[in-house]
A and B are shown apart, each in its own frame.
Chain A
Amino acid sequence: MLPDATFDINTTALNAVTTPVETLRSIEAFIFEEAKLLDQRKFWQWDKLFTDTGMYWAPQKHDQDNPFDHISLFWEDRMLRAVRIRRVENARNWSQQPQTQTAHLVGNIAVEGTDDHGNVVVSAVFQVTEWRLKQRQLAGRYTYKLAAQENGGWKIQLKKVQLVNCDDVFENLEVFV
């Protein structure tokens, strides 16, 4: 892959939209379901929520412009997400004994607008309680780019995870936030 700078990561210069209540409800339901799949460690099902080109991104610095000229805590396409899932499910994953357990709490969901490809940009605040040998709290803001599907559902073109402590000293981050 090497950084593919053609990927559109813009989530700020957006077209204004008015969102019908039922659309907002369906977006909320989609995001709550996504969080539930992570908590249940149904990672393969979770990965299916992404479009074929969809990216999972956690910037390493506050207000980071892009993942192309700066390190990221996560910058993963389907291949790299699959590698992570394969590893945490491997029987000889010494650092997942015991497994990481999580509880996601997602709120303040708001539609911000649409990008030039028609994706709906949605922001939310999250709190994740993570446990492996000891408890840790992760928190921050999610920004999604959601692609409307013909069947009425959604797929993720981008999930951006801005941790409040993105540039902190970290112990391992083994599972998706």
Chain B
Amino acid sequence: MIPTNEHIAALIREDSVHKSVYTDPVLFKLEMERIYGHAWIYVGHESQVKHAGDYHTTRLGEQDVVMVRAADGTVNVLYNRCPHKGAKLVADGDGNVGKFFRCPYHAWTFKLDGQHLSAPLKSGFEGTCYDPKHADFSMVSVARVDSYRGFVFASQAAYGEDLKSFLGGVITSIDNLCDRSPVGEVEVAGGIFRVQQRSNWKVFYENLHDTMHARITHESSVDAARGEAEAIGEMPFELLIMDGNGEPYDFWEKLELRAYNNGHGYMEAIFDPAAADRDIVSREHFECLSKAYGEERSREILGMNRHNTVIYGSGSPHTVFMQFRVIRPLAVDRTMVEIQTFRCKGAPSSVFDRALTYANVINSPSSNVMPDDVEVYARCQEGNMTRGGEWISMHRYAGQDITLEDGAISTNGTSELPMRNQFAAWKRYMTTTLIAKESTHAA
């Protein structure tokens, strides 16, 4: 039975949430309709489909979609379904379909915008309502597609705010990621890791700005990095990025957490990459940018030192180390993360080397840091299945954040503001009255 809006609203309090938001498959199904069916969700980057016919498959909520480059350069996002018998038109992954999609089942073909092109032995349709121009015989486009600086987003709802309004202030993180290139462009490069977590998707979003977990959950990798740095007598980049989680509480308290409407936000950086012993990358990068933008602007760009950014529903860009951890919910207790790495066009190759190293060391399935996160998420998932209590606390600094026109800012870096902000967005999506789609049957 679908819960009423009143029932759903009661699951979210100012300072706590009911555990069923992580464990109830009915709520998960509703999230796929009411959040992933409406919000702008990151599909992929235009650089993943460079040439006409190039495609990249992914998921918007529970929906298999394909992002494809048309001959005129437009990037389309279509549901991966042939309108004839329903077969997925392309296999999951990346590739090139050529000039049109061709179904492997009965050879129905479709233009790169999804329009019906042809079906064999057309005489068989005589006297039926078969109509190549009717939507029933074409691939279906996702309702709205837009891109910002190469980042392609799609919304499954035909109505609602536009992409820029949806992103609000968090757009500055996408800008900063791109501005780190002397030509203002990035491209996905070097492959994409895919990692599975045995937990609900929301716990990962909450953890991204959870400054109170770092030194506790990551004690094993902090100890390992510090022990090794002591043994070899230096702190190179690979160790510095593991060491950062071990900062004492008063360090985290001073960080700034910024929340924007729609559940988005960012946290200030934990470490300065230039602090690594023998760091050459920051200097090379600064010199390169200075030539393009001048020293003052370059200092401003590289000085915007943010750690994880959250684009709620899409995932988490890391602007400094050029990553995007794209978060894809699979089931109420299963989540997949696609880790994209970006090459900063025109920047020294060492900037990309550093991004690759960060992906390998921090975000890969073999990371020494992530497993302890993934373990505690799974323990939350399992613990919340017990009868040992109903509510999840997010009381820390509740009522003490500073409200701004477009969100809020923490007064203490250990505030659970980001979680409260995410659940405020969740509640709004989940309880807003929805407009039903009208029937478009051909007959």
Contacts and interface: CB of A to CB of B under 8 A. Distances in A.
A174 to B, nearest CB: 5
Interface in A82-108: 82-84, 86-87, 90, 92-96
B371 A73 contact: no
A79 interface: yes
B364 A73 contact: yes
A58 B191 CA distance: 14
B190 A174 contact: no
Contact of A71 (B193, B225, B227): B193
A83 B368 contact: yes
Given A73-B366, A92-B220, A169 B196 contact: yes
B237 A71 contact: no
Contacts of A68: 353, 356
Q: Which bracket fits the contact residues of A?
A: 35 or more
A176 to B, nearest CB: 9
Interface stretch (B48-56, B79-87, B228-236): B228-236
Interface string A148-177: 000000000000000000011111111000
B223 to A, nearest CB: 5
Contacts of A96: 220, 371
B371 A174 contact: yes
B239 interface: yes
Contacts of B281: 2
Interface string B373-385: 0111001000000
Contact of A94 (B191, B220, B350, B354): B220
A46 interface: no
Nearest to A176: B366
Q: How large is the interface on B (under 10, 10 to 19, 20 to 34, 35 or more residues)?
A: 35 or more
In this complex, the member of B231, B336, B371 whose beta carbon has the largest number of chain A beta carbons within 10 angstroms is B371
B315 to A, nearest CB: 15
Contacts of A92: 219-220, 223
A172 B374 contact: yes
A70 interface: yes
B238 interface: yes
Interface string B186-197: 000111111111
Nearest to B355: A71
A80 B229 CA distance: 11
A74 interface: yes
B178 to A, nearest CB: 21
B336 A169 contact: yes
Contacts of B198: 171
A87 B372 CA distance: 10
A42 B371 CA distance: 21
A90 B224 contact: yes
A61 interface: yes
B357 interface: yes
B191 A1 contact: no
A79 B353 contact: no
A71 B220 contact: no
A69 interface: yes
A20 interface: no
A16 to B, nearest CB: 33
B368 A87 contact: yes
B221 interface: yes
Contacts of A79: 228, 232, 236, 238-239
A100 to B, nearest CB: 10
B322 to A, nearest CB: 12
Contacts of B359: 71
Given A2-B281, A94-B379, A171-B365, 6 more contacts: A69-B190, A71-B364, A87-B221, A93-B220, A95-B375, A170-B193
10 contacts: A69-B190, A69-B356, A71-B191, A79-B232, A90-B224, A93-B220, A94-B376, A94-B379, A95-B371, A169-B195
